[in-house]
Structure 1
């Protein structure tokens, strides 16, 4: 790879892919980009994304802040390394014969990563993160859709739809996971019952009376319902493509 091509990748990105390591001579460095990413993940998990800094990561690793700049050019590089470590390798196992259960497994693993590391949802997305692990996730999703008859653009769009659903659902359920929402008789449903005028809001009153506003499974039913609806739409598109 020539210098012009190297310039396309930030230093941290190149290290994640092992490009700079292949070019470097001399003794093996005491620190790796994966060490840095893992330390940053631990800080964000324990203290939140706002607490993250290059100096805090360096201290956690027992190095100076300046030494980290041998591996990352900026905090943006650091965030990429964090995402690579937080998601880890794409989900292994699971059903791999039919696209739908395969993609359900992919979505469930995606959701699990976001629940473990909710700070991921606070990171602005400028473009799809080009790291080895996340590229592996993309490849896994495309493999699930490989034999569906969808075009390459439709496969990518289907994965984006599934990703947007998973991220949105986790973010919404996280917002609902507040002390007020867990107050039982003083929670959302009880407060709604206190103020609701059935004549003005008849359909909401019916939903309330059915118990639909009282979530006691952490949003699991909501996740399943929404995911099935998303996959049903993709399934319908696949049927149209197969029918020609």
Structure 2
């Protein structure tokens, strides 16, 4: 009887994991998320799509690795010595980091990612909460709540940028749907917005949220 040796059979892979990540990062950076696909990446590397799945379980798994690869492309901000101000600066820094990678919403919608930059920010946030004497459970709830604000802001900003890239119409350029016309309070509010201005201020939302957690009045 012939012995069977477990393991992969055939030629070794033409590329390694780091080369796959680097090529994916280059396509995403130079051509944008709308042009990225596993097929495009495989063609760039001159391998089959299955060759990519040799290293990554899914496209989101690969995108998470790309984000980690690019984690420190965003410079860390100068943080205030005032711990109260610092609590608000850190989530804004993560937003600035993630919106530099418009493909990241695919990963955010599937998982709560913590790349190197986000890990730095979260750690600074928890140390700052300790400095303010915040109980562990309260600081964790505050951090998780702010993370969800961060995710929402990144998704909305990224979708707006991709809409502009596609040349799609903005909401104020479209016909108002009947289900809005039938709701006068909502219609009145929308009618009062200046479409040329950014009506939403995420910093104000974060400041209000932190102020509420600390039992303070919002500085805004």
Could you tell me the TM-score, scaled by structure 1's length? 0.59
Q: d(CA) in 1 for partners of 2:101 and 2:187? A: 36
C-alpha change, 1:223 and 1:119, in structure 2 (3 Å) is same
Does residue 1:180 correspond to 2:169, yes or no?
A: yes
Aligned to 1:216: 196
- 1:120 equivalent in alignment to 2:126: no
| CA distance in 1: counterparts of 2:198 and 2:24, whole angstroms | 28
Corresponding position of 1:19: none
Select which of 157, 176, 189 maps to 2:141: 157
**Aligned-pair distance for 1:88?**
2.4
Q: 8 Å contact 1:40–1:82 — kept in the other structure? A: yes
CA distance in 1, matches of 2:73, 2:120: 7
Residue in 1 aligned with 2:186?
Answer: 204
Following superposition, the deviation at residue 162 of structure 1 comes to: 0.9
Residues 95 and 171 of structure 1: CA distance in aligned 2, closer, same or farther (over 3 Å) = same
1:107 partnered with 2:87: no
Alpha-carbon distance in structure 2 between the residues aligned to 1:54 and 1:208: 42
| Corresponding residue of 1:56 | 41
Distance in structure 1 (CA, Å) of the matches to 2:121 and 2:22: 19
Q: Is the 8 A contact 1:103 1:141 kept in 2?
A: yes
SS in 2 for 1:146: helix
CA separation of 1:40/1:207 partners in 2, compared to 1, >3 Å: closer, same or farther? same
**1:145 CA displacement:** 2.0
Q: Which 5+ residue runs of structure 1 have no aligned equivalent?
A: 1-29, 238-244
**Mapped pair 1:171 → 2:146:** no
CA RMSD, Structure 1 to Structure 2 (Å): 4.1
> Are residues 128 and 193 of structure 1, via their aligned partners in 2, closer, same or farther at CA, if it must alter by over 3 Å?
closer
In structure 1, how many angstroms separate the alpha carbons of the residues matched to 2:94 and 2:41?
Answer: 28
- Corresponding residue for residue 13 of structure 1: none
What residue in structure 1 maps to residue 63 of structure 2? 79
Alignment equivalent of 1:233, drawn from 201, 212, 220: 212
Consecutive unaligned residues in structure 2, runs of 5 or more: 1-14
> Take 2:149 and 2:35, find their aligned partners in 1: how far apart are those partners?
25
Name the residue aligned to 1:6: none
Q: Secondary structure at the match of 1:88?
A: helix
Q: For residues 193 and 31 of structure 1, do their structure 2 counterparts lie closer, same or farther at Cα, with a shift above 3 Å needed?
A: closer
Residues 173, 54 of structure 1: alpha-carbon distance in 2 compared, 3 angstrom cutoff: closer
